[in-house]
Amino acid sequence: MNYSPQSLAQFDNLLYPTVLISLLSALVTAYFLSGRSRQQPPGPWVLLPGIGHLLRFAKDPVEQLRTLRKQYGDVFKVYMGTMPVVFISGFDVINGVLHDRGAEFAHRPPSFIAEKLVSNKGFLNTSGNVWTEQKHNIARTLRSLSASGGLLEQYIKSTVNNLTDHLQSVIQKGEGGQVDLTPVVRRSVCSIAFSMAYGRQLDLDSQLLVSYTDTLDQFLRCMKLAVTTTFIPYIHLLPNDPVGYRKCKQLAVVIEMDFVRPELERLAQIHREAQMTCEKKTGETITTAPTLCYAGAYMDEMNEKIRNNIPTMMSEEHLPKTVSDVIMGSFDTITTTIQWFLIYMTHHLDVQKKCRQEIHKFMGEDGCDVSDIDRSKLAYTQATIMEVQRVANIGPMPPCHTSDKDTHINGYFIPKNTAIMTNMDSLMMGPEVGDDPTEFRPERFLTEDGRPFYPKWFLPFSTGKRMCPGVSVAKKELLGFVVGLLSRFQFCAPLVDGNEELPSLEGVYGLTKAPQPFKLCIQSV
C-alpha cells in the first residue's frame, strides 16, 4: 500500500483522538478492575447463624449455612451481630486458605472476649511471634508425651482402667439399666488432660479432680452464651448479666487462681529442689523438669532463655492462660466425641459388634491393655471413630482465622483482620463424601482390602499452620477409650416405660456441638 503525504496527514489528525480514546478506555478498565479487586464476598447484611441459635430465635446454624452456601457459593459474608464473618466452604477453598496460604491466615482476629477474659494472653487467641514460639514448645512436648511408649499411654491405661472398674461396679450394684455416663467420662478426660499438663495423676474420685472438672464444665456451659459478646460487645453492659459474661469472667479467675497457679507453683518448687540437688552433686544446672508435662516444659524453656539472655516472648503472664487453653482444647472435644461415639453405637449395634470383634480378635478378650494398641490392626474401629467424628461434626464453627494484611479469597477483597470461619459441615457432609453423606457407614474410611483410608476432605482437626496441635494425643486417647469400653461392655438404648429409648442424634450448639443429656444401658460382655 502507498501512503501519500495527504493520507499521512489524515492519520496524524486521527492520532490524538485515538490516544485519547485508548487512555479513557484504560482508565475505565482500571476503574472496573479495581472495583472488582475490592469486591466483597456476597451475603446477607444481617444474619446471626450460631448466635441466633444460641439466643433461641434462629434455626439450626448448620442448616442456615447450607442454605447460604447454596445461595452465595463457597465464599460468603454474614454479619454475626456487628461483626462481619467470611465463611469459607468446600475442600478446595478451605485447603487453599488454611493450608496452601497457611502462614498468611495463621492469625486470630481481635476478639472482645479474648481481650476481656484473658487480656489477649495465652495460646488460642494469640498470633505472630508469641504464638509461634509457644506453638513450637507445646507441639514438641505433646509429641514426646504421645510418642510410642510415652507417658500418655500410661495415663490412658490407668484412667481407662479406673473408668471401666467404675462402670463394672455400677453394673454389679444392679444400676446398669440407665446410666448417665457423662460425669465420669468428663472426669476421666479431665484426669488425662491434668496429667499431661502438670505431670501427676489424680484419682477419679479425688476432690481436686471433681471440682476442677465441675468448674471447667460450668465455664464451658457459661461460654455458650457469653461468646455472644464477641459479636455484640455492648451486650456485656446490660444489667443482670443476661449472657453470663461476668460469670464467665469470674470462673476464668477461679480456674486460674484455684487450679492452675497452685499446680504451677508446685512444679516450680519441684524444679527448684531438683536444681539444687543437681548443683550440689555435679555443679551443673538441670534444664529439664523431673516429669515431662507441658507446663513444666514451658517453664524450662522460658527460664532457660531468661537465664541465657535469649530474647523470648514466653512469659509468666502467658503461661497459666496457655496451660488452660491446652487443657480446655482437649477436655471438651474429647468428652464430646466419646459421648457421640457411645450414642452412635446404640443406634448401630451391628457396627458396635464388629468393632468389639476386631478388638477381641487382635487384643484378646480379657481386659486388653490399652497402652499397647497396634493401630494398624484396628482399622475398622478407627474407621468407626472417624465416621462418628464426621457425622457428629462436633466443631461446626471452629475458631476464626484472619490475615493481618488486606488480601483476597477467590477474587473477593478481604480487609485485614476480617474474621474467617471454616464451614466444617461443607467438608463433613459435602459432595466429596459421596452420594450418601447422611448415612452412618464406617467403611467409607476403609480401602477395599480393609486398610485405613484417610480422605483429603476429612479435616476435623483443621489443617495448615494453626491445625490442632493435639491431633496425635486426641487419636490415641479416643482409641484408648473406645477399646477399653467396647472390649468390656455392650452399650444399648435404655428401657423407659418398657420401651427402648434411643438417645437423640440432635446436637446442642455451644463451643462444640454436644449431645442432649442421655442415658444408656450398660452390660458386661
Q: Which one, of 54, 9, 61, lies nearest residue 396 by Cα?
A: 61
Pick from 50, 470, 503, 507: which binds ligand HEM (CB under 6 A)?
470
Stretch that binds ligand HEM, among 6-14, 264-272, 279-287, 329-337 (CB under 6 A): 329-337
Pick from 395, 430, 442, 515: which binds ligand HEM (CB under 6 A)?
395
C-alpha grid cell, residue 347: 443406634
Give the nearer residue to ligand HEM in terms of CB position, either 130 or 142.
Answer: 142
Count of Cβ atoms closer than 10 Å to residue 187 Cβ: 26
Shortest distance, position 55 Cβ to ligand HEM, whole Å: 24
Q: Are 412 and 41 in contact (CB under 8 A)?
A: yes
Shortest distance, position 103 Cβ to ligand HEM, whole Å: 13
Stretch that binds ligand HEM, among 69-77, 164-172, 410-418, 465-473 (CB under 6 A): 465-473
Q: Are 458 and 386 in contact (CB under 8 A)?
A: yes
Shortest distance, position 131 Cβ to ligand HEM, whole Å: 6
The secondary element (H helix, E strand) that includes residue 332 is: helix 318-347
Q: Flag whether 222 is marked binding.
A: no
482 binds ligand HEM (CB under 6 A): no
Q: In the block, which residue shows the cell 456485656?
A: 236
515 binds ligand HEM (CB under 6 A): no
297 binds ligand HEM (CB under 6 A): no
330 binds ligand HEM (CB under 6 A): yes
Could you give the CA distance from residue 304 to residue 499 in angstroms, rounded to a whole number? Answer: 63
| Per-residue binder mask for ligand HEM (CB under 6 A), 127-146, x = binder | ---------------x----
Q: Are 147 and 126 in contact (CB under 8 A)?
A: no
Pick from 176, 244, 329, 430: which binds ligand HEM (CB under 6 A)?
329
Could you give the CA distance from residue 398 to residue 62 in angstroms, rounded to a whole number? Answer: 13
Stretch that binds ligand HEM, among 347-355, 395-403, 493-501, 513-521 (CB under 6 A): 395-403
CA dihedral 190, 196, 197, 200 (to 10 degrees): 90
Sign of the C-alpha dihedral computed for residues 224, 227, 512 and 196 taken in this order: negative
- Give alpha helix (H) positions in 87-205: 91-94, 112-118, 128-146, 151-172, 182-198
Q: Which one, of 90, 211, 92, 194, lies nearest residue 152 by Cα?
A: 194
Pick from 64, 337, 426, 487: which binds ligand HEM (CB under 6 A)?
337
Q: Are 345 and 161 in contact (CB under 8 A)?
A: no
396 binds ligand HEM (CB under 6 A): no
Give the nearer residue to ligand HEM in terms of CB position, either 51 or 334.
Answer: 334
- The CB-nearest residue to ligand HEM is 470
Give the nearer residue to ligand HEM in terms of CB position, either 208 or 467.
Answer: 467
Give the nearer residue to ligand HEM in terms of CB position, either 122 or 233.
Answer: 122
Give the nearer residue to ligand HEM in terms of CB position, either 296 or 469.
Answer: 469
Binders of ligand HEM: how many residues, by CB under 6 A? 24
473 binds ligand HEM (CB under 6 A): yes
Pick from 43, 469, 484, 515: which binds ligand HEM (CB under 6 A)?
469
Shortest distance, position 356 Cβ to ligand HEM, whole Å: 22
Q: Are 76 and 86 in contact (CB under 8 A)?
A: yes
Stretch that binds ligand HEM, among 304-312, 324-332, 351-359, 502-510 (CB under 6 A): 324-332
Q: What three-state secondary structure class fits 489?
A: strand
Q: Which one, of 291, 315, 314, lies nearest residue 194 by Cα?
A: 291
Could you give the CA distance from residue 511 to residue 525 in angstroms, rounded to a whole number? Answer: 35
Stretch that binds ligand HEM, among 23-31, 205-213, 328-336, 376-384 (CB under 6 A): 328-336
466 binds ligand HEM (CB under 6 A): yes
Shortest distance, position 91 Cβ to ligand HEM, whole Å: 15
Give the nearer residue to ligand HEM in terms of CB position, either 195 or 462.
Answer: 462
Q: Which one, of 220, 145, 154, lies nearest residue 182 by Cα?
A: 220
What is the bridge-based pairing of β-strands 495-496 and 521-524? Answer: unpaired
428 binds ligand HEM (CB under 6 A): no
What burial letters (b/e) apply to 359-389, b meaning 16+ CB within 10 Å? beebbeeeebebbebeeeebbbbbbbbbbbb
Shortest distance, position 463 Cβ to ligand HEM, whole Å: 7
Could you give the CA distance from residue 408 to residue 55 in angstroms, rounded to a whole number? Answer: 32
HSE (CB half, 13 Å, CA atoms) of 151? 20
124 binds ligand HEM (CB under 6 A): yes
Name residues contacting ligand HEM, limited to 63-122 (CB under 6 A): none
Task: Cite the annotated binding site by residue number.
Answer: 468
Annotated binding site for heme: 468
Binding site for ligand HEM (CB under 6 A): 123-124, 142, 325-326, 329-330, 333-334, 337, 394-395, 398-399, 460-462, 466-470, 473-474
